[in-house]
Amino acid sequence: MSEADVRAPACDGACPSARALHDLRYALDQACVVVWTDAAGRITEVNDHFCRLSGYGRDELIGQTHARVNSGLHPPAFFADMWATIGAGRVWRGELCNRRKDGALYWTHTVIVPFAGADGRPERYLAIRRDITERKRTEDDLALAVQRLEDLNDQLAGEQARLVQAEKLSSVALLAGGVAHEINNPLGGVMACVHALRQDKVPEARRATYFDTVVDGLERIRSIVSALTRYAQPASPSSGAVYPADLFDEVMEVVGPTVKQRRLNVVRPVGEAPPVDGDHGQLVHALVSVTLNALDASPPRGTVSFSAERDGDLVGLRVCDQGPGIGAEIVDRVCDPFFSTKPEGEGTGLGLSVVMGIVRAHGGRLQFGHAPGGGAAVTLWLPAWHRAP
């Protein structure tokens, strides 16, 4: 049985000529695999394209089933679904992987059309296949490239996390000297009081005073450690009313020891600034990072100032120093990851990059300018808090 034996409806005068049918078969042979099978799936006719693609001669295919080119890649359920579809008289479409005579695999996009006999059941099938091997190879290469990129992205994310932690540790190291000095003062008093109380050398009339000194000293130590912990491990992002005065208070809890150790001055804003909408922990983290940069840039006995102002729907939290300022040649780069003006080994260059990420996550922006006297002015513009109606 050949393709020419297809039963067709009676012509109405517009039937294609023999030449047109010949041209159509030639065109199909150039573009597609065409295979006819009987109801049992035995091959009855193939075109030259199938022979070229599979590597088998026509005499090696006629009378055989497609098991001759089965790749073994598809599970039995795949073919069961295909036969159930065409056995019910419906057209099946899908992608098939077959095996050439030389063992190489090839893929085709396949359409199988059933033709019914007089009893209404399929008596033969026409399969038209288009070679998509190159497309599948490209898809596999792309999938492999995507997987490699995802693996690389995971590695970069891990490295970024490590560097962000290193930046935190660098900032904590900057604070450590001042914190140690600030803790050692009350700690020394606490230890002296405890020692005296244990030795029962304190008159009864003064024991309450000694205990008060111990409690005050421990409370001071707890306050410093708590502030430092909140800075090193900020809470998950959230939304709420955050007052600038509270932020500046907590920033000073963290950097206060460093300020004292370096004998710097800090000027706080006068008056109550409107609240911003954000995450208290993350905003403290951002402000501490900016403040540490300001302290590091300031000369001995210099001044770092905090201020807050409202501009429309934004509230600006500004930190100014009396350092050399930020040059025009680097202002566009200071937030780039790994960019740093510090000597090698002092920080990772991620501090302002992290600050930028926090500010943007809050729907704000980071602004760099000049402070009075020529220092740097860094402003965190954040959305103002709007009380729910």
31: amino acid identity, one letter: A
pLDDT at 39 over 60: yes
Starting at the earlier edge strand, list the strands of the sheet with 265-267. Answer: 265-267, 303-311, 314-320, 376-383, 365-370
CATH 3.30.450.20 region(s) of the chain?
3-131
> What is the rounded CA–CA span in Å between residue 164 and residue 148?
24
CATH number of 3-131: 3.30.450.20
| Banded model confidence at residue 231, pLDDT cuts 50, 70, 90 | low
Out of 108-112, 215-219, 222-226, 356-360, the most confident range is 108-112
pLDDT for the residue 151: 83
Check: pTM over 0.75? Answer yes or no: no
pLDDT band (50, 70, 90) for residue 336: low
Greater confidence (30 vs 97) lies with: 97
Residues sharing a CB contact under 8 Å with residue 97, sequence separation 6 or more, in sequence order: 71, 73, 74, 105, 106, 107
Determine the Cα–Cα distance for residues 257 and 190; give it in Å rounded to an integer.
18
Average pLDDT of every residue of the chain: 80
Q: What is the percent of the chain with per-residue pLDDT over 90, rounded to a whole number?
A: 33
CATH T-level fold of 154-383: Heat Shock Protein 90 (3.30.565)
Q: Where in the chain is the domain with CATH 3.30.565.10?
A: 154-383
Which amino acid would we find at residue 103? G
